[in-house]
Amino acid sequence: MPKTSLALLLLAATTAHAQEWPPGADIDPALHVDITDDGFAQLGGVVDQVLPPSIDIPRIDQSGSADILGFSLASYEFNVWNGKVNLGIPQLDLVPDYDVIHLDATLNLRLNSSQDPMYMRAFAEALWITVLNTTCDVYVTDVPIPLSADIGLQVVDVDTDGDGVADTSELDASITNLSVNIDALDGGDINITNCGIGDFIEFLEDIGIDLVSLLRPVLQGVIDDQASSLTGELETTIEDLFNQLVIEQSIDLLGSTLDLKLAPSDVVIVPDGARVSMFGSAYADEHPCVAQYGYEGSLATPGGAEAIGMAAPGVAQPHHVGLFLDDDFGNQALFSVWRAGALCFTVSEDSGLDLPIPLNSSLLGLINGEIYDPLFPENTPLIIETRPRVPPTLATSEVDDLVIDVEGLGLDFYAGLDGRMARIVGAELATDVPLNLDFNGTTGELLIDVGLTADNIDTSVVFNELAPGRDDEIADSFGGLLGTVVDTVAGGLLEGLAFGLPSLDGFGLQSLEFAPSGPAGDWVGGYAAIGDVPYAGGCDENGGCDSGGCSGGCGVNGPSPSRALLFALPLVIGLRRRRQD
């Protein structure tokens, strides 16, 4: 049994006996992931450098001649080379509407530059006499090209094992009505230098070439390809953003299995933003150690989440990204952990634990030496068994980000007495364990503070046949023992928990705060602002936080999962990452 066992005992239990959600029931919605209209505006304002720095234009060679009786009386050649298209995105707006997200952008078109021009050569001869041979420098500077498209989102079923039956679902993004128009390019945008311009233009007119008509289809093809690439990557990025939250896995819990599932169920797009709703379920087979307590389901509480774009009182406005967890799903997950028997332990000297307290009858003396030392003049084997009578639940709080309500966590102490192992004393613990998450927008570090202390653990004695009438005295003396366990075992495990969230190209989470959400305050809301940040984030090779490295964040015990985008890192991060790859 791992060293964390006693710490887990003190972190689990609940205050209610409810059977509202059967084990493994689909809770829908279990989670909402929002990007507000302000979030889309923020994303559009920072999208840049997602296109290649330049695209080469294929060489153009054209020639012709005028022949009489097999003799060439006149001929010409026209050559274009070293053409490079440069595209920037000085403006991109993502505007949510009803059932669609409008994309409106301006592409900044440049064709070469005065320092690195495209070359156009004109050569003509008549009666074997050269009448024109000139090479011109050509470039186009800063022509705005409008681009527009519509982004649609829908939930699709997915057959992961190939049996023809949908196993889960995921988000599918589609971009339609793509339009890129370069009609704004005209002759006034084309710069021709370092040649006889008049002769050159006259030559082009003579051979029937309009320079704008020559360049426009070439540039249109290049821009269409890049626009398709941009929107295609945007589709994939949107899908990846939300589908990273899709979970379907089994977790080993000390020999039992916890099945977790989280997948999208619905998409709503309105002018206030976009919301992807997800259903979730958690299931574990019932362990015999908890079957006796008669719980058949997890706690359900009425209520819903905030409307898209709305925030809990006191939360800084506007927020860009929101994550809203239904406490029903949190309760079902905790219930399943409890149902799997993960909180059922038997601890003895043979458990192999390295604990700061003795695991023999002398431990009873630490509880109350006046009562128990005379009963055990010599140390005898001691066994501690847990009685997790009720499943864990999750609660929101106006003071703390989350609270674990502890109630009915039983501890029975057995020791050798009169030649047999006898139950000496039984206690039950109750407390509220606050969990607070503090994000540092300067360093990108998310600190997790678990406020577990012995001072706020209430102890009651429920079995005491050896010292009748002294229940309160025994309960009070439990504080010293619990303080030792919390400070030396749980404290060492729970202090200094931190994760370094990533940024890419200086863009990431600027702020992150949590608050009870929804009209009833029974949802957990996470509200984030995104934009330019001073931190790089990531992990070093040993899993620690540093100023750069892995994009999945890091924790004190090694890299965090890629899902620890936590609250949906923005589309632009995905776009930039793809550009770097």
Whichever domain contains 542, its CATH number is 3.15.20
339 in the same domain as 213: no
Question: What is the predicted pLDDT for the residue at 48?
Answer: 56
Residue 244 lies in a domain: no
pLDDT tens for 120-166 read 999 999 888 888 999 999 999 999 999 999 999 999 998 888 888 88
Round to whole Å and give the CA distance between 378 and 383.
Answer: 16
Measured over all CA atoms, what is the biggest interatomic distance in the chain, rounded to whole angstroms?
132
Round to whole Å and give the CA distance between 232 and 229.
Answer: 5
538 in the same domain as 429: yes
**What letter represents residue 333's amino acid?**
A
Q: Which of 238, 255, 271 is the last residue of a domain?
A: 238
Round to whole Å and give the CA distance between 164 and 160.
Answer: 9
Residue 372 lies in a domain: yes
Lowest mean pLDDT among 65-79, 281-295, 391-405: 65-79
The answer to whether the bond into 318 is cis (omega within 30° of 0) is yes
208 in the same domain as 144: yes
225 in the same domain as 303: no
Residue 249 lies in a domain: no
pLDDT tens for 38-57 read 988 887 766 655 677 788 99
Where residue 7 falls (left for φ over 0; alpha for ψ -120 to 50; beta otherwise) is alpha
Question: What is the predicted pLDDT for the residue at 551?
Answer: 37
Residue 306 phi, psi dihedral angles, 5° rounding? -65, 155
Residue 529 lies in a domain: yes
The domain total for the chain is 2
434 in the same domain as 545: yes
225 in the same domain as 369: no
210 in the same domain as 71: yes
Residue 495 lies in a domain: yes
Rounded to the nearest integer, the mean pLDDT of the chain is 82
* This prediction's pTM: 0.81
> How many residues can be counted in the chain?
581
Residue 157 lies in a domain: no
61 in the same domain as 15: no
62 in the same domain as 17: no
Residue 275 lies in a domain: no
568 in the same domain as 499: yes
The 3-state DSSP composition of the chain as helix, strand, coil percent (nearest 5) reads 25, 45, 35
58 in the same domain as 9: no
383 in the same domain as 348: yes
CA distances from 322 to 318, 333, 525, 527, 566 (A): 11, 21, 7, 5, 10
- Which residues constitute the domain of residue 67? 49-152+183-238
Stated as kind and residue range, the H or E segment containing 152 is strand 129-158
Residue 87 lies in a domain: yes
